[in-house]
Every structure is written in C-alpha cells, then in structure tokens.
A and B are shown apart, each in its own frame.
Chain A
Amino acid sequence: MNPVQNFEIFAPKLVDRKEYFSSGHRACQGCGEVLALRHILKALGDDVVVANATGCMEIISSGYPQTAWEVPYVHVAFENAAAAASGVEAALKALRRKGRIADRYVKTIAVAGDGGTADIGLQALSGAMERGHDMIFFCLDNEAYMNTGIQRSSATPYMAATTTSPAGQAIPGQRTQKKNVPEIMVAHRVPYVATACPSYPLDLISKVKKAAAVKGPSYIHVFSMCPTGWRCASEITIKIGRLAVETGVFPLYEVERGKYRLTMEVPEKLRPVGDYLKLQGRFRHLTPSDIEKIQDQVNREWEILLNKVECLQPW
C-alpha cells in the first residue's frame, strides 16, 4: 500500500465528510463490516439504492422504528439481495425511462455477508451477474455466520474454529478451504472484480468508485474483521486486517476485464501467517505443523495470484 503523503490535507478531498450510515447502530465494538459499509457509502454518495441481505448489517442497522441508513434501503430476505437489487435496478431504469422518477443516474448496490454471498445467496448472485444488471455486489466477508452465532460458512478458512466446526479432539476446526468467490465472479466475466479491506480505507474507497463507474455488474469482496467471531480484542481489528493482507492470507487486488492487478505493494517476502493466526482465538488450537500447513497453502495461493497478475491480459 502506498502511504498517502500529507493525509490531513488531502483527506477531505479523498473522503466524503457526510455520513450515510449514522452512528447509534447496534454493531459490536471493532466491527470491520460496519466500518467497511461506512466507507463504501461515503464512496458512493447520495445517488444510490441499497438492497441488503439478512445478516449482521441488516440486524444492527434496521431495527424498527429506527434506521441507520441515510440512503434508500431495502431488505427482503437472506439469500436474495442480488435478486432484489435486480428488481430495483430494472424498476429504476423503467421508471426513469417513463419519466416517473427524476431523470438522474442512480446506482443500485447489493450488500450481503459471506453466507448470503458464498452459500445461500450464490445462485441469486450468479444470476444477477450473468444478466448484467447495473449493480455493485458487496460481500462483507467475516468468514462465518456471525449473526446467528458463529457457525461455519463456505467462506470460513481452513482449520478455523466455529460453533459448527469446533476444534474437537477428532476434527480440529473447519475441514475445507475457503470458497473463492472473487474467482467465481471473474469466471462470470464480471467487468470489475476486486478484493478490499477496511484496514485500507483509501484502497477500498477507490475500488468502490471504480466499480460505481462501471455501467454493468461489478463485485467487491470485502474482508471484514469480526472480533466477536474471531475471538480477538476489538481494538486490534484494524491491525488484524492489515496482518491478513501482509501475510498474504487476504491479498488486495482487482480484476478489470480479466486483467489482474495487485493494489498492495508486493513484498519481497510475505509475513509469516503465524503473525495473523496467533492473535485470534479461533486459531488457538493450531499446532506448529497446522500453521505450517496453512503457510504452505497461503504461499501456493499467493504464487497462483502472482502468476495471474503477470500473465493474464484484459479481454
């Protein structure tokens, strides 16, 4: 990540001062998701409609009779944020064409957690992306079903302990690899796919702005730290996000029309994954050989990504 010189001078120009997600919501302390959401909305500005899946962000923000949303917002169900957003997008298009709403471009976005994206919401997401709706889909990935009590999802990393993949005597945590949804989106020929993390807010904001400029579908996978589910101190949430990036556990990159680009400074050697794992209770049970195994996987995935960055050309 390139450090921004004279940040205090430039910050007001880089980031909208206006808050689109008000304070007073019910998110846990140190929640990475809500921080990401706040940045996302700042990057998008006023002319946006949000379709949100059931999940942490819906529950903490929309408890009737209050709302934390300063922009138009709709929640329908858990698995259909992309489908509901498809309808919103189509309606805005039709109503604007027919002169029944202001003739102004309004972006539709869908927001879902990793369960609402990688598991139960994958079909609706795939459908919406394939149909080419003009929307950005954000996956706020906290790597488990945190809203329902920290159950494993297909985005839970290998060996992480959750309430449905506990670190038992026979089976030490999650048995499978994290599903790679950004890759699935690239395979859909989505014109803009990116990974982001609220520990790198300017990177996140610039990606959101890039996605917003795409007239068509785009997808941003946001690594969203969860102190509650990851069993770590809430004040180190930003640090954990940075460690995920620095260790290569969650590399920051974007894929524009098939062309991969790392948006982080490429280190000569990644930090050891142990630095990231040891701060979190969900990995507390790992033995040195388990960590070694995870390190090997991270190294391999990193190599694969570097190869793509180097070799793949835009379509």
Chain B
Amino acid sequence: MGKRVGMEVAIAAAEAVALCNIDVAAVYPITPQSHIAEHMADIVHDGRIDAEFITVESEHSAISACAGASAAGARAYTATSSQGLMLMHEILPIVSAMRLPVCMANANRAVSGPLNIWNDHSDIMPQRDSGWICLFTENGQEVIDLSIMSFKIAEDPEVMLPCVVNIDGFQLTHMIEPFELPSQAEVAKFLPPRKPFAQLHPDNPISMGCFAMPDTYAETVKAKDVALRGAKKVVTRVFADWAKRFGRKYNVVETYKAKDADTLMLTMGSMGETASAAVDEMRKAGRKVGLVKLRLWRPFPVEEFKAAVAGCKTLIVMDRALSTGGAGGPVATDVKSVLYGEKKKPRVLNVIAGLGGRDLAVRDFENMFDLASKKKDETFEFYGVRE
C-alpha cells in the first residue's frame, strides 16, 4: 500500500506525475499552477526521475513541445492555467486530432480581463470542444489518483487522446491535505511505459500531422468524436481497475444523497465538498436535497448523468463560468440539451456563482437551493453579484 502523507495539492500533483515514468515535461509557469512546475523541476533536477524537463518560453511552446515529444513516442506532460491555457488553445485540437495522449494539469483560474488570478472555470470552458478528455477533481486524493489514471486512459489503444485534469486554483492547488500516495512499484504495475501506436523515428519513417482536403477532413473529425465518446468506457474501466488495486472507487458522475431528493444541485470541481456540507445541513432540516457531481466533463457522460437526475423535480446547475451573451453557463446549456428529448425531465435552473475566486460558503449553497425553490422560470442568474 501507499503511504499516508500530508502536502500541498500542487506538490502532490507533481509527485503523482513523477510516479508515472514520464519522458518529457514542458512547462511554463503561471499562477496558480507554478508550484506544479517548480516541484516538477525539483524532482527532475534531483535526478529522482529520468525525464527531459523543457523550460519553454510560453505555454504555446509548452503544448507544442509536448505534441512533438508525444509524436516521437514519449510520455509527455504539461501543466498550465488560465491565460496559459488560452494561449495553448490553438494547439489543443491539433494534439487531439493527431491522437497524441499528452496529459496536462490545469489549475483552473479566471481569464482576463480584468486580470484575476483566482479560481473559476472560465479557462477550461473555451477548450471544451478541443477533443480532450476533461476530468474535474474535488480534493487532493483525487488529484493524485486522476493524474496517474489520466495517462492510462489517454494512452489506451482505443482512446489515444490527450487528457486534462482540472484542479481548482488556490482553493485546491494550494491546500495542504493528507492523502495516500501510491508507491512507485504499484504505479509501475498499473502503468507500464507508453507503447505508442506510431512514433517519429528513422527506423520506420512516417508522416504525422498531414493536411487534409475536404474529402478526408470530415472523416478525421468524426473519428476523433467516436474515439472521445468511446473513451468513457475506458475511463470507467480504468476507474474500476484503480478501485481494485488501490481501494478508492470513482464514478464518472458522482451523487450525494441524491436517491430520494426532489432538488439536486450539479457541481464540478472542489465546490462539491462545500455543497455536500450544505446538503447535510439542509437534510438535517428535513429538506430533500442532494448533489450530482460531474467528474468527467468530456466526453459528456450522458447515460450516467440522466440516471443520476432521474426522479428529481428541480436541478440547479452551478456554473463557474458564463457563455457571455449566450443561454447561460456552459454546463447548464449542455445539461439542458442533454435533457431536451426526455419525456420526464427536471426543471433546470442555472446559477452562475463563484467567479474569479468569489468565496462560496455552506450558507451560500443553502441560499442557492432556496433561490431555486422560489423561482418559476428556467432562466439563469448570477448569485451574489452587486447591482
């Protein structure tokens, strides 16, 4: 078994990746990701792992170097946040189209402007259509576990797609928590060195990243979508394997006191824990409320999500980003379209909250439940914004 340790979550993320026998890491520092990059540098510079650490001049080059490294057959890793992820944006769909299993940690942070270094999900949402597997973490233990699993999922021959593990900036990255760190031997058994489908080497010259005319482009787009949808099966399989080996069970959609609930709230990321506390409080007061937490955001776990919300009357979707000028938050609009064809569906209310690091306490989640019970229509609204 692994050992119980206490450390900052960002440090733990780097420690977890260090267990994964990575070959190349290319990282550019950005708050609140920097501790991952710094600790990764410490690990490489102390010779604890045998990897190339490229201190690139930008996030754009970080992801480009990872693409090159992965194409050459290496297990490549990067970490970023906010503006850095936005700078990578151009390359993200290329990495997935080339079917390169690059793994990345994203310390979720609001995007500029105004400049804001604190947490919300407005950095990852513009990337959601990039063809990456997209996971959200709730606590330090999940960061460790999902970081390691992300390589296994991404490199599966059925998948071969990049994967991003979202870690709420500061609220999670800078927490000091106790958790179990698996041993090197256990991880090595779970995750053998990468076996690339194809790699850049003169022993077998191939061309990668070719351009496609209209007669083949659409086929590649569809192939990527089929692979990404199919990745859910592999995610579930890897989660099950992990549970067997390490005793910690994960689901693509988690529920909390949801079975008999008439009102459910949906969250992603670290807010789930605070929301759980609010559910506990409200249950004590006899209110039938519960929680649904999306761990897997892309591919969207349609069936599991529908099963999780079946039977509830009201679903409050908490979004930590806004599709400006659109129909609300990106999670809510997705959820609504998933439920649209259902005969029996809950009323979906969308609350935009916790933007740019705005604190949300247990009381705030209770307020959101209250707000929903009073509302008649299905519009979205900002929570706690001064007019």
Rounded to whole Å, the gap between the CB of B289 and the closest CB of chain A is: 47
The answer for the CA separation of A64 and B69 in the assembled complex, in Å, is 22
CB-based contact A93/B91 at 8 Å:
no
- The proximity string for A residues 196-237 relative to B, scoring 1 for CB distances below 8 Å and 0 otherwise, is 000000000000000000000000000000000000000000
The answer for the CA separation of A73 and B205 in the assembled complex, in Å, is 7
CB-based contact B94/A76 at 8 Å:
yes
Contacts of B56 in A (CB 8 A): 83, 86, 127, 131
CB-based contact B200/A87 at 8 Å:
no
- Which residue of the partner chain, among B64, B98, B202, contacts A124 with CB atoms under 8 Å? B64
The answer for the CA separation of A131 and B58 in the assembled complex, in Å, is 13
CB-based contact B60/A87 at 8 Å:
no
The answer for the CA separation of A48 and B94 in the assembled complex, in Å, is 23
Contacts of B340 in A (CB 8 A): none
Tell me what chain B mostly uses at the interface: helix, strand, loop, or mixed. Answer: loop
- The proximity string for A residues 237-262 relative to B, scoring 1 for CB distances below 8 Å and 0 otherwise, is 00000000000000000000000000
- How many chain B residues have a CB neighbour from A under 8 Å? 46
Enumerate A78-97 residues with CB–CB distance to B below 8 Å: 79-80, 82-95, 97
Q: Which of B207-215, B304-312, B321-329 contacts A (4 or more CB under 8 A)?
A: B207-215
Rounded to whole Å, the gap between the CB of A20 and the closest CB of chain B is: 9
CB-based contact B206/A86 at 8 Å:
no
CB-based contact A76/B68 at 8 Å:
yes
Question: Known contacts being A91-B68, A94-B50, A95-B72, is A49 close to B200, with CB within 8 Å?
Answer: yes
The answer for the CA separation of A76 and B305 in the assembled complex, in Å, is 35
Enumerate B45-101 residues with CB–CB distance to A below 8 Å: 50-52, 54-58, 60-61, 64-74, 76, 90-91, 94, 98
Question: Known contacts being A94-B52, A98-B50, A127-B57, is A87 close to B24, with CB within 8 Å?
Answer: yes
Rounded to whole Å, the gap between the CB of A102 and the closest CB of chain B is: 6
CB-based contact B209/A74 at 8 Å:
yes
Rounded to whole Å, the gap between the CB of B80 and the closest CB of chain A is: 14
Contacts of A131 in B (CB 8 A): 54-56
CB-based contact A65/B216 at 8 Å:
yes
Q: Does A51 contact B (CB under 8 A)?
A: yes
CB-based contact B65/A90 at 8 Å:
yes
Rounded to whole Å, the gap between the CB of A153 and the closest CB of chain B is: 19
Q: Does A46 contact B (CB under 8 A)?
A: yes
Q: Does A149 contact B (CB under 8 A)?
A: no
Rounded to whole Å, the gap between the CB of A57 and the closest CB of chain B is: 11
CB-based contact B52/A93 at 8 Å:
yes
Question: Known contacts being A102-B201, A102-B203, A123-B57, is A90 close to B24, with CB within 8 Å?
Answer: yes
The answer for the CA separation of A75 and B211 in the assembled complex, in Å, is 9
CB-based contact A69/B202 at 8 Å:
no
CB-based contact B202/A63 at 8 Å:
no
CB-based contact B90/A49 at 8 Å:
no
Question: Known contacts being A97-B50, A131-B54, is A72 close to B90, with CB within 8 Å?
Answer: no
The answer for the CA separation of A77 and B74 in the assembled complex, in Å, is 19
CB-based contact B201/A49 at 8 Å:
yes
The answer for the CA separation of A127 and B64 in the assembled complex, in Å, is 12
Rounded to whole Å, the gap between the CB of B198 and the closest CB of chain A is: 10
- The proximity string for B residues 181-214 relative to A, scoring 1 for CB distances below 8 Å and 0 otherwise, is 0000000000001000001111111111111110
CB-based contact A76/B91 at 8 Å:
yes
Contacts of B57 in A (CB 8 A): 123-124, 126-127, 130
- Which residue of the partner chain, among B51, B64, B210, contacts A94 with CB atoms under 8 Å? B51
CB-based contact B91/A70 at 8 Å:
no
Rounded to whole Å, the gap between the CB of A314 and the closest CB of chain B is: 27
Rounded to whole Å, the gap between the CB of A71 and the closest CB of chain B is: 5
- 5 A-B residue contacts at CB 8 Å? A64-B210, A73-B205, A77-B90, A86-B56, A128-B61
7 nearest interchain CB pairs? Answer: A87-B68, A127-B57, A87-B65, A83-B64, A91-B74, A91-B72, A84-B68
Using CB atoms and an 8 Å cutoff, list the residues of chain A in contact with chain B. 46-49, 51, 58-59, 62-65, 67, 69-77, 79-80, 82-95, 97-98, 100-102, 104, 106, 123-124, 126-128, 130-131
Using CB atoms and an 8 Å cutoff, list the residues of chain B in contact with chain A. 23-24, 26, 50-52, 54-58, 60-61, 64-74, 76, 90-91, 94, 98, 193, 199-213, 216
